[in-house]
Structure 1
């Protein structure tokens, strides 16, 4: 099995295909729908509102964080209400109405065609839908090769390294960042679980804004809190269908661990030395695009 297919399988599993396609011969229902009710998104007076919480889109959040927003370059705060990160955009009617109140200009779907067809987005009115597929391959077949939790973790680490070294991955992130820079208004970036491809995109945006890496890591790990109910439900589905031993193998794929993002960052540092060099040399981004993103993020 090639490294490309291993990364593809890992991303597919982690972004939700695990519960939508057969695993070792058995299909099981998708538990990623409506697992907790929306909660209040009140902010302190004078602060932009936090991102709303949705019943069926549990990992929807503002790239800038909550409260005043993450602190970036020169002590400025990352602007809220501009870039959102999410899992699959499949809101119910009530949540769709709330989502439309954000007036998103575009929704960027980083999933493969198979993922999209399994769970199509419900795009809010007025938003352009842009599919930028990242990764491909025989996802189910490659996933079936996993035999240990350590192997699953290696999958995740390989996948994050691939965001640095893979030509298709780099082309996808180049297109995404270019679209984000050239589009006015709030925008949503997502994959299926909103944590791996979307997590790397968020890492890049926050790095452009000058947010410290320890803050970026804390933000990355928030998936385990936002999606805790769906992660637990998915694991229970695997136990019911395949037993505890198989569930233990696949558990590392359901959430995020620091070592996953760290693997990608280490690869980036080793090859390019800095995020700026990765953006310019690895993604072949024009300096003007990077400057526009920084200006937008810090306002």
Structure 2
């Protein structure tokens, strides 16, 4: 649906609340710069209303790291005590659903899917998508993510390898351009949307962290959400570790487990890289990712209720 005049007034009040709560503010920016936005839901966005009813994202057995960016229950708490809106942005691993899970995805009325994988990853494991969904490939890595994995022999090396990759995600020009494009497309495209990579944890994890940060969600909560990959993908990670253990031994398999799941130090490495190189998160959005004020406001309006 599109905002009618009443919706625009609500949106304007939301922007004012966001600004007064210490959210993104730039000279010359105002709520009036935000164009009407099509949103995939109905309901009030009046400030001061009670918490929105919980919308539980479906669990997909064949796409095990599929989930709502907004979180479970009633959505995470963001700027000004507003909740992150559910049913707007979804995240996932490679979308290779069973027939039953494909039908579930159909029911979400998705408008667009953004694939953050490399060409080689896509060719090895192509998506199966609901009909009528726009598919976009967005490059967010300058090189193959597998890199020099074969040379990793210890847990310390595994941790250092992934941490380095996360720092590069923040600083590399290809990554910054790609994530800037993703956020712009998410802002400009109406309806429910989904973004994903191969495991739905690293590239997808950073994209989700960016959206939640824009919504004003605390870093503590963002970290807790990030670590949910280890819960959602537990069965598939354990199965892969078991196969590796059978071939190369349990000790090596436990090293590789660190590459299959997530660790708090990974996301922290990205946040540290951001903090060390930019004056603020807002500076990273503008100077690092090339976003304009209107795009950021659009995302805030889509994200918060």
- 101, 108, 124: which is aligned to 1:102? 108
Alpha-carbon deviations, 1:215-267, whole Å to 9, x = none?
A: 00000000000000011011011111222232132121111110000010011
Aligned to 1:202: 208
When the two chains are superposed, the root-mean-square deviation of aligned CA atoms in Å is: 1.5
Q: Is the 8 A contact 2:142 2:175 kept in 1?
A: no
Task: Tell me the TM-score normalised to structure 2 length.
Answer: 0.81
Cα gap change, 1:105 to 1:151, in 2 (>3 Å): same
Aligned to 1:130: 136
Q: Is the 8 A contact 1:103 1:126 kept in 2?
A: no
CA deviation after TM superposition for structure 1 residue 139, in Å: 5.4
Aligned to 2:165: 159
Q: Is the 8 A contact 1:112 1:136 kept in 2?
A: no
Aligned to 2:73: 67
Q: Distance in 1 between matches of 2:180 and 2:239?
A: 34
Cα gap change, 1:141 to 1:265, in 2 (>3 Å): closer
Q: Is the 8 A contact 2:155 2:258 kept in 1?
A: yes
Cα gap change, 1:285 to 1:139, in 2 (>3 Å): closer
3-state SS in 1 of match to 2:136: strand
Q: Distance in 2 between matches of 1:271 and 1:232?
A: 37
Aligned to 1:182: 188
Matched, 1:55 2:42: no
CA deviation after TM superposition for structure 1 residue 136, in Å: 4.6
CA deviation after TM superposition for structure 1 residue 273, in Å: 2.8
Q: Distance in 2 between matches of 1:49 and 1:97?
A: 18
- 118, 124, 128: which is aligned to 2:124? 118
Gaps of 5+ in 1: 1-44
- 244, 253, 257: which is aligned to 1:251? 257
Alpha-carbon deviations, 1:13-55, whole Å to 9, x = none?
A: xxxxxxxxxxxxxxxxxxxxxxxxxxxxxxxx97242110111
Q: Which runs of 4+ in 1 moved over 6 A?
A: none
Cα gap change, 1:157 to 1:92, in 2 (>3 Å): same
- 221, 224, 230: which is aligned to 2:227? 221
Q: Distance in 2 between matches of 1:240 and 1:129?
A: 38
Aligned to 2:268: 262
CA deviation after TM superposition for structure 1 residue 106, in Å: 0.4
CA deviation after TM superposition for structure 1 residue 140, in Å: 5.2
Aligned to 2:16: none
